[in-house]
Amino acid sequence: MKLVPLIHIALIVLSAQAFAGPKHDVHISYCKSQLTRTSLSGKVSYYKDDFVKALRNRQGTAFYGQGPARLEQAITAYMRQNFTATTGAGEKLPLIITSTGIDETSIWFNFTFSSSAPISSISIGNTVLFQEFRDQMNMINVKTPTGEHSLVLTSSDPNGSIQL
């Protein structure tokens, strides 16, 4: 029967994806934030093991044996490169990490992006862990004076915009 080899091929293609693709669990980060006239601030959380993997990939052998100060610098640099905010006027806002927390499974950052001018719209990018996991989705919830918006950022769509 000609259908049997066709079914075998289809299932083998599916299995190749299963072997190379993501596991059952979902790779996701979550950010809860608030947008005011001059700033965006909030808390962003990542799965700790994944975040460590990203840092290790970025730093290579330098990752091992470094002191806390250098590790903190590496984390800040990684976050600044991958977690960004740009106003509608084109001002790239600097990321300020106000505090960091870590537990058994997660690492999180309290952050602020401040603008020198009133913000009418903002574009937020979060590409953290995209290089490590092709199914990574970074979700950003933004509370504004007019309502609440949720963005789902993926490797094919790594930026989202919010109007005030």
Instruction: Tell me how far, at minimum, the Cβ of 115 lies from another protein, in Å.
Output: 24
Stretch that binds another protein, among 26-34, 69-77, 79-87, 110-118 (CB under 8 A): 26-34
Cα–Cα dist 26/24, whole Å: 7
**Residue whose C-alpha is closest to residue 83's, from 116, 106, 51, 105:** 51
**Residue whose C-alpha is closest to residue 139's, from 131, 150, 130, 129:** 150
b/e code 30-46 from CB counts within 10 Å (16+ = b):
bbebebeeebbebebbb
**Residue whose C-alpha is closest to residue 37's, from 93, 115, 100:** 115
Stretch that binds another protein, among 66-74, 78-86, 119-127, 147-155 (CB under 8 A): 147-155
Q: Does 19 bind another protein (CB under 8 A)?
A: yes
Instruction: Tell me how far, at minimum, the Cβ of 77 lies from another protein, in Å.
Output: 21
Q: Does 149 bind another protein (CB under 8 A)?
A: yes
Among 123, 141, 144, 159, binds another protein (CB under 8 A): 141
- Among all chains, which residue has been given the structure tokens 């299995």? 15
Q: Does 46 bind another protein (CB under 8 A)?
A: yes
**Residue whose C-alpha is closest to residue 119's, from 32, 40, 34, 31:** 40
Stretch that binds another protein, among 42-50, 68-76, 78-86, 117-125 (CB under 8 A): 42-50
Q: Which residues, 72 to 131, sit near another protein by CB under 8 A?
A: 103, 105-106, 108, 130-131
- Among all chains, which residue has been given the structure tokens 């049997």? 4
Can you give the binding site for another protein, defined by CB under 8 A?
A: 1, 3-4, 7-8, 11-12, 14-15, 17-32, 43, 45-47, 50, 103, 105-106, 108, 130-135, 137, 139, 141, 148-152, 155
